[in-house]
């Protein structure tokens, strides 16, 4: 029993977790759902993104909510399933799921921005931090009415909280996810600095 509890994943197990996570993360739920609903290619409207925010621009709130939920749950599923074998494999699978969502091979590596999947992975690995993420996001959204700024601040806060709770490995992985998330939001950051970013509730 002690050997099982102290087992560390080898290269093959880690590779399997990475492939599993990437393939699950690369499922473009926003694109699939909008096509099934007869709304065409979501990449041809708004920002061209496959995430829930752009799906919302179709005018179908239920579809956007479904996209948000599924994009999050694929991160939760991959991380939680792999973590049952080993915590390190959970981190590997969660990281790969996030990358799969951002860079799906099926769409020429042009995917979403990853916030929902980020939260989903967090839920699958360290669920206690999810309410903190939600509280930070909600507070910044209430004060600024900027969805993008809320996501940027919440993702920046999460690795710090993880570190103080003693989850050092997870903190390092999520710090990397945060850097990638900020990079994917570089256009939003430019608009925020220029005062041209749209606010929550703005029309058009």
pLDDT of 76-134, one tens digit each?
999 999 999 999 999 999 999 999 999 999 999 999 999 999 999 999 999 999 999 99
Q: Which of 114, 113, 161, 112 is nearest to 135 (CA)?
A: 161
Contact call for residues 29 and 71 (beta carbons, < 8 A):
yes
Owner of token pair 């005018």 = 59
* Number of CB atoms found within 10 A of residue 22's CB: 21
Q: How many helices (H) and strands (E) does the chain have?
A: 11, 0
Dist CA 197 CA 145 (whole Å) = 10
3-state secondary structure of 161: helix
| Residue 168 pLDDT greater than 60, yes or no | yes
In this prediction, residues 68-81 reach a mean pLDDT of 97
26-53 burial by CB neighbour count: b if 16+ within 10 A, else e?
bbbbbbebbeeeeeeebbeeeeebbbbb
| Residue 34 pLDDT greater than 60, yes or no | yes
> For the chain, how long is the longest CA-to-CA vector?
60
What pLDDT is recorded for position 100? 97
* Number of CB atoms found within 10 A of residue 88's CB: 17
Q: Which two tokens stand for residue 109?
A: 């590596």
Q: Which two tokens stand for residue 107?
A: 């769409």
| Residue 3 pLDDT greater than 50, yes or no | no
In this prediction, residues 171-176 reach a mean pLDDT of 98
| Residue 6 pLDDT greater than 80, yes or no | no
| Residue 2 pLDDT greater than 80, yes or no | no
Spell out the domain ranges in the chain. 1-125, 126-204
| Residue 4 pLDDT greater than 70, yes or no | no
């Amino acid at each position: 029993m002690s050997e099982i509890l102290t087992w560390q994943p080898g290269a093959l197990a880690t590779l399997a977790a990475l492939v599993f996570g990437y393939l699950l993360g690369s499922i473009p739920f926003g694109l699939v759902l909008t096509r099934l609903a007869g709304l065409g290619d979501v990449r041809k409207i708004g920002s061209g993104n496959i995430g829930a925010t752009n799906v919302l621009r179709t005018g179908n709130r239920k579809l956007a909510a479904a996209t948000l939920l599924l994009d999050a749950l694929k991160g939760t599923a991959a991380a939680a399933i792999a973590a049952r074998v080993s915590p390190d494999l959970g981190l590997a699978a969660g990281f790969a799921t996030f990358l799969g969502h951002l860079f799906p091979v099926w769409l020429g590596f042009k995917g979403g921005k990853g916030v929902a999947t980020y939260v989903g992975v967090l839920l699958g690995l360290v669920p206690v931090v999810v309410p903190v993420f939600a509280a930070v996001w909600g507070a910044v959204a209430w004060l600024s009415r900027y969805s993008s700024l809320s996501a940027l601040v919440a993702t920046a806060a999460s690795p710090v909280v993880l570190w103080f709770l003693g989850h050092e490995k997870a903190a390092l992985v999520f710090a990397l996810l945060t850097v990638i998330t900020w990079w994917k939001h570089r256009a939003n950051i430019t608009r925020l600095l220029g005062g041209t970013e749209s606010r929550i509730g703005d029309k058009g």
